[in-house]
């Protein structure tokens, strides 16, 4: 005859199995609850690039404090409700920011903190580049009115999103001068960084809008030359310089790929090329992070 103990053994095994199944289910649901309502992509980024912010909860702003020498220190950007039902925004990391790991805090309209997600900003080296300019070209300066027009454009953030991924290249030409290089003019340091990129282009070659948007500047500037600036909405803006001829008027709604002007060498330029700029919430960003372009420099041989 079997002992009680032997009879009970299979039952004990079954109970243990059931208990572990229940425990696993609880652990899984607890894990799901811990998923943060907001995300930052990518979570690690070089200087001069853009972080995509997304929330399942109604966050209307996000705050990053990665620029200790700036006043005010923190950069706050807006998030906007999307057709998909979530809230999205763009956080720029500036060339002047300090590398390290910082929280991005997501806030509701009433200022309540909804989430905090860490962002790692990586050390990024930008090379130095000399540009040779004729004396009369180097002597060109922006007027206070021109500066005001540019600042007003940069600081504006509009509610309607006209742009969508991916952006298109404004010109097929290779990159003569990348973003972020420290600029020398005729061997003298200028204290300026190259806040956009220069692309090779034949004089008169068409220049296209990288995304849909509203034309906010159509104007010849002393330093920038023939300029078009486009607001793509919700914090994304682009600007195109040194053009020979402009093909849009103020207030035009352009589509992605529309011709907005033609390659020239107007303003402070040492030859025909397109200099263009991406602003994210007023901060210049690396256009090569948004559009894939070849470098004009000979590719290094693979070892
Ligand atoms: Zn340039």
- pLDDT for 31 equals 45
- Measured at the CA of 193, the angle between CA 190 and CA 199, to 5 degrees, comes to 115
CB within 8 A of 298, min separation 6: which ones?
A: none
pLDDT band at 8 (very low <50, low <70, confident <90, very high): low
CA distances from 88 to 41, 85, 93, 118 (A): 11, 10, 16, 17
CA distances from 1 to 4, 6, 129 (A): 9, 10, 93
Q: Which residues pair with 289 in a beta bridge?
A: none
- pLDDT for 302 equals 53
First to last CA, the chain: 78
Span 262-283, pLDDT tens digits: 999 999 998 999 999 999 999 9
Residue 3 in this model has a pLDDT that exceeds 50 = no
What is the mean predicted confidence (pLDDT) over 18-46?
68
5-19, 51-65, 201-215: segment of lowest average pLDDT: 5-19
43-52, 104-113, 169-178, 189-198: segment of lowest average pLDDT: 189-198
Residue 30 in this model has a pLDDT that exceeds 80 = no
Per the model's pLDDT, the better-predicted residue between 76 and 301 turns out to be 76
CA of 44 to the centre of ligand 1 (A): 27
Report DSSP letters for 207-248, one per residue: EE-SS-EEEEEEEEETTTEEEEEEEEETTEEEEEEEESEE--
- pLDDT for 29 equals 47
CA of 194 to the centre of ligand 1 (A): 6
What is the mean predicted confidence (pLDDT) over 20-26?
49
Asked if 48 and 66 touch (Cβ cutoff 8 Å), the reply is no
CA of 3 to the centre of ligand 1 (A): 90
CA of 224 to the centre of ligand 1 (A): 9
pLDDT band at 71 (very low <50, low <70, confident <90, very high): confident
CA of 264 to the centre of ligand 1 (A): 13
Q: How far apart are alpha carbons 250 and 227 in whole angstroms?
A: 11
CA of 197 to the centre of ligand 1 (A): 5
Query: CB within 5 A of ion ligand 1: which residues?
Result: 198, 275
| Residue showing tokens 């229940």 | 22
Per the model's pLDDT, the better-predicted residue between 220 and 127 turns out to be 220
Residue 258 in this model has a pLDDT that exceeds 90 = yes
Percent of the chain with pLDDT over 90: 73
CA of 186 to the centre of ligand 1 (A): 15
Per the model's pLDDT, the better-predicted residue between 131 and 157 turns out to be 157
Span 180-228, pLDDT tens digits: 998 888 888 887 889 999 999 999 999 999 999 999 999 999 999 999 9
CA of 286 to the centre of ligand 1 (A): 12
CA of 261 to the centre of ligand 1 (A): 17
CA of 177 to the centre of ligand 1 (A): 7
CA of 16 to the centre of ligand 1 (A): 70
CA of 223 to the centre of ligand 1 (A): 11
CA of 203 to the centre of ligand 1 (A): 16
User: Average per-residue pLDDT in the chain?
Assistant: 89
CA of 253 to the centre of ligand 1 (A): 26
CA-closest candidate to residue 223, choices 258, 195, 188, 181: 195
CA of 240 to the centre of ligand 1 (A): 10
Q: How far apart are alpha carbons 69 and 75 in whole angstroms?
A: 12
CA-closest candidate to residue 96, choices 287, 280, 285, 224: 285
- What letter would DSSP give residue 139? T
- pLDDT for 34 equals 64
């Amino acid at each position: 005859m079997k002992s009680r103990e032997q009879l009970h053994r299979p039952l004990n095994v079954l109970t243990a199995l059931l208990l572990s199944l229940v425990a696993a289910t609880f652990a899984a649901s607890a894990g799901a609850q811990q998923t943060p309502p907001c995300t930052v992509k990518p979570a690690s980024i070089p200087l001069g690039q853009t972080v995509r912010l997304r929330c399942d909860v109604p966050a209307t702003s996000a705050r990053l404090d990665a620029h200790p020498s700036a006043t005010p220190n923190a950069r706050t950007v807006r998030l906007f409700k999307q057709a998909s039902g979530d809230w999205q925004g763009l956080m720029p990391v500036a060339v002047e920011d300090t590398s390290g790991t910082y929280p991005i805090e997501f806030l509701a309209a009433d200022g309540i903190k909804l989430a905090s997600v860490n962002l790692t900003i990586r050390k990024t080296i930008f090379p130095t580049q000399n540009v040779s300019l004729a004396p009369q070209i180097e002597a060109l300066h922006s007027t206070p009115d021109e500066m005001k027009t540019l600042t007003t454009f940069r600081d504006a953030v509009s509610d309607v999103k006209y742009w969508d991924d991916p952006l298109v290249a404004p010109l097929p030409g290779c990159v003569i001068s990348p973003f972020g290089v420290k600029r020398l003019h005729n061997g003298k340091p200028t204290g300026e960084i190259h806040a956009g990129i220069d692309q090779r282009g034949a004089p008169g070659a068409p220049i296209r809008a990288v995304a849909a948007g509203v034309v906010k500047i159509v104007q010849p500037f002393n330093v920038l030359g023939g300029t078009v600036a486009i607001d793509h909405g919700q914090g994304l803006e682009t600007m195109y310089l040194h053009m020979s001829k402009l093909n849009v008027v103020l207030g035009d709604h352009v589509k992605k790929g529309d011709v907005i002007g033609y390659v020239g060498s107007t303003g402070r330029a040492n030859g025909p090329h397109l200099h263009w700029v991406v602003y994210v919430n007023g901060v210049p960003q690396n256009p090569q992070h948004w559009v894939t372009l070849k470098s004009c420099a000979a590719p290094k041989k693979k070892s």
